[in-house]
Amino acid sequence: MIFSVSMKLSDLLENPEGSALFDKFLPGVRKMAEANPQAGSLSIEQLVRYTRIPQGDKLLAAMDEALGKLNTPENMISPHEAKLIEYFKELDQQDRERTGKTSGSHVQDAIYPGKPWLDTKGERIQAHGGAVYFEDGVYYWYGENKAHTDGKNGVWTWGIKVYASTDLMNWENRGFLIPPVLDDPNSPLDQAIRPGGGLHCLAGG
């Protein structure tokens, strides 16, 4: 977690020092924000602009400087992020165990629009928003792994996967081009990558 006026209100209020700074710079705003369930997803900057607080730019600059002093090793990971990290590690372990047991095979002689596209092991291809490159007789398909994205659990993209094919129908899973970062919420490739952080990011089917 990086403290700045760009951070979400809900994240700031998890930290006692951050919460105190919020009340210092924006007295009375917390009560208003708590009355609106959506306010927690706004950044401090958005909240100030939406509420049209007088001299908002000056206030935001001063608040941003004060929040920057909270960027210490002790504050790098919020309690909420710590729980997510443990959850991500559990998912990763489940993936490793499942991969070790996978022995299926799948071959197809056509592409079937509207049906899940399976790789050569019979698993759903995870290469969303991808691109295909051709080199030395082999097609390479790169894209986002959305295997764990359900809109509720905090996983946006679970790394970038690579698939290879010689006929554009049967694709072999070659693993990760960019694996998910599971334990650093401040990494640009975090998580698994969540909305609001990382590459949006870059952690379905």
Model confidence pLDDT, tens digit, residues 36-86: 888 888 899 998 888 888 888 999 999 999 999 999 888 888 888 888 889
The answer to whether position 3 is within a domain reads: no
192: pLDDT strictly greater than 50: yes
Given a contact cutoff of 8 angstroms between Cβ atoms, the answer to whether 127 and 118 are in contact is no
* Predicted pLDDT at 196: 43
The answer to whether position 99 is within a domain reads: yes
The answer to whether position 159 is within a domain reads: yes
Residue range 14-30: average pLDDT?
Answer: 90
In the chain, the number of structural domains is 2
Does residue 24 share a domain with residue 90?
A: no
Which residue from 116, 188, 193 is spatially nearest to 158, judged by alpha carbons? 193
In angstroms, the Cα distances linking 128 to 39, 161, 188 are: 31, 9, 19
The answer to whether position 143 is within a domain reads: yes
Confidence of residue 2 (pLDDT cuts 50, 70, 90): confident
Does residue 60 share a domain with residue 113?
A: no
187: pLDDT strictly greater than 80: no
Task: Summarize pLDDT for 95-146 with one digit per residue, the tens.
Answer: 888 876 766 789 999 999 999 999 999 999 999 999 999 999 999 999 999 9
Range of the domain at 63: 9-75
Confidence of residue 189 (pLDDT cuts 50, 70, 90): low
Which residue from 180, 137, 125, 139 is spatially nearest to 158, judged by alpha carbons? 180
Does residue 91 share a domain with residue 17?
A: no
19: pLDDT strictly greater than 80: yes
The answer to whether position 1 is within a domain reads: no
Does residue 155 share a domain with residue 111?
A: yes
Distance CA 34, CA 30 (A): 6
